[in-house]
Amino acid sequence: MIVAGADGCRTGWVICRRDTDGALDIRVVKTLAEACEGLSILAVDMPIGLVDVPRPPRACEVEARKLLPGKASSVFPTPCRPTLDCTTHAEANALSKSLGIGLNQQTFHLFPKIREVDALMRGNEALHSIVYEAHPELAFARMNGGKPVLAKKRKPDGFAERLDLLARHGFDWNPQTVSGAARDDVLDAIAVCRTATLIANSTATRLGPADARDRYGLPMNIWF
């Protein structure tokens, strides 16, 4: 069984594949579709399933923030579906505000990746049983006995702490340059690859109701 984790990076997606023998293969691909080939499970750090109005938010996000005290801000608010057609932050923020609450700049920067995942999932129903939404900080918290890792992953101590957690759970990575991706992007891809392993083994935890779906039938759950 081959599983993988995916995290968005500046040149596309950094993918961590784990083969049946436990070996990790880390590479950057341009599109998420490329990463899906030959996989049993792909856990991706990007929202799947979008609400039509920003309030109330997706239940899985609310639950995720409660599990990450001191790190709740790492769970970005998912944009409502109508804003995805906007081409500027000002336009998206104004539309989101008119529907209930504004939209921050960080979330707007994720629009291209969110659109890509949304189009992929809506265009191929077979992927609904392969591609799952995950969150690296929830993955690290689970590896850390349920406690969020509060040190920032871009700082040496936060990076080292997460690297150690991954190694202790069987995901050794000797930090090296991965062209097109930052080191912390790679860490996140490995973390959600572990989540993919848990999903494949039926031992992952699901946030949000099992039947939570958006208007296109896409699941609104976060797994860790």
Q: What is the pLDDT of residue 84?
A: 97
Q: Which of 182, 145, 217, 200 is nearest to 5 (CA)?
A: 200
Query: Rounded to two decimals, what is the model's pTM?
Result: 0.96
Q: How far apart are CA 80 and CA 221, in angstroms?
A: 15
Strand pairing category for 24-29 and 206-207: unpaired
Kindly list the structural domains of the chain, giving each domain's residue range(s) and its CATH number in brackets, ordered by start: 1-76+116-224 (3.30.420)
Q: What is the pLDDT of residue 156?
A: 96
Q: What is the mean pLDDT of each run of 10 residues along the chain (224 residues)?
A: 96 96 95 94 98 95 98 95 97 97 95 98 96 98 98 96 98 94 97 98 98 97 98
Q: What is the pLDDT of residue 74?
A: 95
Q: How far apart are CA 133 and CA 42, in angstroms?
A: 9
Q: What is the pLDDT of residue 6?
A: 98
Residue with tokens 């890509």: 116
Chain segment 144-193, per-residue pLDDT in tens: 999 999 999 999 999 999 999 999 999 999 999 999 999 999 999 999 99
Q: Is the peptide bond before 47 cis (omega within 30 degrees of 0)?
A: no
